[in-house]
Structures are given as C-alpha cells and as structure tokens.
C-alpha cells in the first residue's frame, strides 16, 4: 500500500509540474511544485489570499 501511495504522489507531482511548465514556470522541488500549483488554482478565484513565509522565500513572486 505504501508503494501505491508513493506512485500516486509521484504521478500528482508530474501532473502539477506539467501544468506549471505550460505556464512557463519551472520548479524542481516537490514542495515548490505543490505551492505553485496551489497558487495557480487560487489565482482564478476572486478572493483575498494571505501569503505567509519567512523573509526571502519568494512570497512576492507568488503574489
């Protein structure tokens, strides 16, 4: 069952990375791929979003 979960996670990351590449965004870290994927989904909503993080982590790039 752990192997199935790992395969699922890997496939999800590949799909998210493909989506980001289509938008001309390059990321290699699984955490960055996940964050950018979430940001692109939230960007379509007409709502206020709070972006938190330490200084220098790229919050301005997401905004």
Q: Cα separation of 17 and 49, whole Å? A: 23
pLDDT of residue 18: 78
pTM of the model: 0.52
* Domain-wise residue ranges, the chain: 2-62
pLDDT of residue 62: 76
Burial (CB count <10 Å: 0-12, 13-18, 19+), residue 10: exposed
Residues 4-58 pLDDT 10s: 888 888 888 888 777 767 667 777 788 887 888 888 888 888 888 888 889 987 7
């Amino acid at each position: 069952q752990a192997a199935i979960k790992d395969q699922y996670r890997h496939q999800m990351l590949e799909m998210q990375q493909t989506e980001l590449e289509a938008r001309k965004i390059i990321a290699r870290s699984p955490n960055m791929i996940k964050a950018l994927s979430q940001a692109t989904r939230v960007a379509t909503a007409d709502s206020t979003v709070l972006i938190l993080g330490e200084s220098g982590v790229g919050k301005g790039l997401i905004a």
